[in-house]
Structure 1
């Protein structure tokens, strides 16, 4: 019985390298091949990771019969096209977040995966990190009493030019899809679908959001208040407050890290977690587990989870006037 899946990485940028690093230690995973738009980029990546198989086109990668699953590591605007290419060639897919630019794209990707009876999952790596899983466990078991407030920020000072993916409308730039998605995920993961979404943003000359704030209200008097920015000083923190205390996720909370449980009496408990590499191994291992078990989606981050996430981002963008002309038809 097969117990290892062979990965092909589509793309050679920063995130592709992070994922390739993680595959070195991920259980039941083998990094087998890479595909890029140029031979030069593919061959350099292959040399860096001691791969024997490298392709100067995406088409060649997805047609390799040895590749079981493809990790889509390209910019947002290419996720739909690249995912459909892989699925049409019989490959399981892990697509970097956001899976699609809007709900329409994600729906098409899911429909294609179901048509082909293939596995598809959004690579929202934070969902699989031990400290995020522990945070939900603490919330659900009443460790801080009745939860009433979540605050989350994701601010990075991006000094890139207008052609960079952060600010480029054609590349579906802006904070919501790139970094705000983590804040939104955390609220949905902990509290579920909100009753109401409010949002406001400042837009660049191109029309991408450079600052965005959004808040969710829930039926049991819970509130999530969040913001993301490419202009503010770096701050990436989150806290969940309850009647009996709070849970604090340290700076860069979307990455592997510690959480602090502060109880009403002022006592603190710091909880640490072990990782094998950089944290991306957890999502890779979930993909391997699902494929080896014959599943076409994960029950930890399902198709419906991705649909709720993207539809919530669609709602935020609509309220803020953020439109991607080549995608929002």
Structure 2
């Protein structure tokens, strides 16, 4: 792939649920990016979505979108259990793929996706948007530089209360619904991106009547006595904060830590709060990164690398094994 520094990236969106709306809303704020096409199994839904965000084309077939010669990149926002199928459909047609988190349902599926992307020499990246947000990059930089000494502990939670609804994807175990894959992935991500993979994992969960996990509590332990205490819940509203305790200060990513928010630094009794909120939802940051990779002819992100995505899905698999959570 050759470098094209001024190329307008033409996007397709496959799957038009809530997160697709957020992605599209931020996409239209980006210069040199264009919403070329959208696809849903319902043409009425596709037409309505396309009209809202000024898409040039609307399809009632995912296959038709993948075959559209005008599309450079596809954002996949279908339910978790379809990520592999839809990513590979687009990769087979030479389309760069930005696939929502979790990348797929298990490690084997992720390996298959990466292998195809490499074979086709096409860009593939997991869309874990938090990694690219300015407040999170700030925290990573401070921790890497050990500005406040060594990182000793991570505490992260993500929880909200919703009425149980068997018709909702969020609670549908057959498509990967439940707290772990939907929101537990964020506290796990925060830990892996700062402390790395743990030497030992403790985990417990509660479940709904259909077997989907309603809560998951985890402790990640490391050989140097550092640890991470993590929680996800669909039963209660939790602070949804991420706290990094260092030797000389505590860095807190405030509610909602996975999205643009404020960062508070407590050091020697003094408190400083930095505001990283802005005019967009925040999905534009991962999209800008992806667009630049495409323009430079890159086939893998240097931030959301294949190696990191594999570590993330392997850790999710380990937690699932401990709590005996299986998807069928």
TM over 0.5: yes
More displaced, 234-243 or 311-320? 234-243
Q: What is the TM-score of this pair, normalised by structure 1?
A: 0.96
Output aligned runs, 1:65-214, within 5 Å: 65-214=69-218
Q: Deviation at 1:83?
A: 0.6
Moved more, 229-238 or 252-261: 229-238
Aligned position for 2:17? 13
Residues 254 and 262 of structure 2 are in contact (CA less than 8 Å); yes or no, is this contact kept in structure 1?
yes
Task: After superposing the two structures, state which structure 1 stretch, 240-249 or 157-166, moved more.
Answer: 157-166
The secondary structure found in structure 1 opposite 2:194 is helix
Any stretches of 5+ residues in structure 1 without a counterpart?
Answer: none
Distance 1:212 1:129 in 2: 25
Q: Distance in 2 between matches of 1:25 and 1:219?
A: 45
Pairs aligned (count)? 324
Post-superposition Cα deviations, 1:150-206, rounded to whole Å, max 9, x if no partner, equal: 111111102131232222111111111000000000000111111111111112222
Question: Structure 2 residue aligned with 1:289, among 273, 292, 296?
Answer: 292
Distance 1:162 1:36 in 2: 22
Superposed CA offset, 1:46-89 (max 9, x none): 11112221111111111110000100011111111111111111
CA shift for structure 1 position 211: 0.9
Q: 1:266 maps to which residue?
A: 269
Corresponding residue number in structure 2 for 1:319: 322
Gaps of 5+ in 2: none
Alpha-carbon distance in structure 1 between the residues aligned to 2:137 and 2:96? 25
The 3 A distance-change label for structure 1 pair 285 and 27 is farther
Distance 1:274 1:235, change over 3 A: closer
**In the alignment, structure 1 residue 37 sits paired with structure 2 residue 45:** no
Offset at residue 220 of structure 1 (A): 2.2
Q: Distance in 2 between matches of 1:179 and 1:41?
A: 26
Q: CA deviation at 1:27?
A: 4.1
Query: Offset of 1:271 from its aligned partner?
Result: 1.5
1:244 aligns with 2:244: no
Alpha-carbon separation, structure 1, partners of 2:61 and 2:164 = 28
**Counterpart contact for 1:144–1:241, Cα < 8 Å:** no
User: What is the distance in 2 between the residues matched to 1:202 and 1:160?
Assistant: 14
Alpha-carbon distance in 1 for matches of 2:108, 2:69? 30
Which ranges of 4 or more aligned residues in structure 1 deviate by more than 6 Å?
A: none
